[in-house]
Amino acid sequence: MTTPAVTYNLIKKDKHTGARLGQITTPHGTFDTPMFMPVGTQASVKAMAPEELKEMGAGVILANTYHLWLRPGEDLVEEAGGLHQFMNWDQGILTDSGGFQVFSLAELRNITEEGVHFKNHLNGQKLFLSPEKAIAIENALGADIMMSFDECPPFFESYDYIKKSIERTSRWAERGLRAHKNPQTQALFGIVQGGGHKALREQSARDLVSLDFPGYSIGGLSVGESKAEMNHVLDFTTPLLPENKPRYLMGVGSPDALIDGVIRGVDMFDCVLPTRIARNGTCMTSKGRLVVKNAKYARDFRPLDEKCNCYACRNYTRAYIRHLLKTDEIFGLRLTSYHNLYFLLDLMRKIRAAIKEDRLLDFRAEFFEEYG
Ligand SMILES: CNc1nc2cc3nc(NC)[nH]c3cc2c(=O)[nH]1
């Protein structure tokens, strides 16, 4: 039996919740979980240098298969020696499979058993993605962790539609496993779907667990459903997944959603939120969100967050960052992006410490009291 590219080591289960402290070992290093993964859609975490990501404690970062397939093309990235070489990042990289981008970005033409026909969102050109094509692109990009090609159905779709969708997604997952060229160096994760239907989540999980993936994503969430609905689906979905493998909740999220996902047994998260809101001057702080562009901060010479120890908070004030944003100085975006990413990575550090000391629920209460 060859060693899989990625292994998970469960270090400790929280006494009072479903939270787990663990480590995930990849060909590019071992990383503590629960973890937040910054998103680098086009092979760059927007406005951040790899050295800055490293100093704030990022371990695994994301890149988008759909975007990189379109530009610069997976063949160019492969020629460059793969994504790690191309973007000068020597730690973990995870690529999604393009499934979600096709359903959320591109002008959808139609979904068939074979795959998805759609239009390139940049130039309207007709494109086709199948499980085999998506896996071939991810193999060429060379990420340590790859996602299966799946359909992310609308959360409120009918039971019948979602049943047919998860059955096709399971057939696609199997086709992806067969097409995968480098299982020793790249771990392919299965993606559990099923919308808000317990029976369909059980069926999807059963199908994928029987295919023995090295890790599992929980898909079909953070697509407009309420936080209560997402938490309810997690309550009955994470227990269906193997304890000795990582669980990755896609597209999450905000500080409260991260804490609630960890409590329900999730190990890995990704979200564009921190860098996206940073670009319009919204910062995450221990007291909630702070829109530093607001006039009330014009003469506020405090850091973004007085409890934050990041580069931006140690060296710059709200007044200065507001001035940079108001004058379209690029450095302003860099400071808000740095701070928001640091804030979430630091939140995960605090969550891991709380699990270690069996005080995660106390930490959640304290956090929400301040965060509002
Ligand atoms: C790659 N496949 C795949 N990606 C996803 C990305 C997501 N991102 C969000 N919210 C921002 N929800 C998601 C669901 C999926 C999903 O169900 N499948």
The ipTM, to two decimals, is 0.99
72 — pLDDT class (breaks 50, 70, 90): very high
Phi-psi domain of 108 (left: phi exceeds 0; alpha: psi -120 through 50; beta: other): beta
Please tell me which residue in 144, 270, 305, 346 is annotated as part of the active site.
270
Residue 65 alpha carbon to ligand 1 centre in Å: 13
pLDDT in tens, 210-229: 999 999 999 999 999 999 99
Q: Encoding tokens for residue 295? A: 């006039």
Answer yes or no: 300 catalytic: no
Q: Is the CB of 195 under 6 A from ligand 1?
A: no
Residue 126 alpha carbon to ligand 1 centre in Å: 23
Q: Encoding tokens for residue 121? A: 């969102």
Q: CB of 337 within 8 A of CB of 311?
A: no
Report d(CA 203, CA 5) in Å as an integer: 26
For the question of whether the overall pTM of this predicted structure is more than 0.90, the answer is yes
* Residue 131, amino acid: P
DSSP 222-278: SSS--HHHHHHHHHHHGGGS-TTS-EEETTB-SHHHHHHHHHTT--EEE-SHHHHHH
Q: Which residues pair with 218 in a beta bridge?
A: 192, 249
Q: Encoding tokens for residue 52? A: 């800055």
Residue 134 alpha carbon to ligand 1 centre in Å: 15
Mean pLDDT of 278-303: 97
Burial class of residue 157, CB neighbours in 10 A (0-12, 13-18, 19+): middle
Answer yes or no: 270 catalytic: yes
Report d(CA 223, CA 196) in Å as an integer: 12
pLDDT in tens, 257-283: 999 999 999 999 999 999 999 999 999
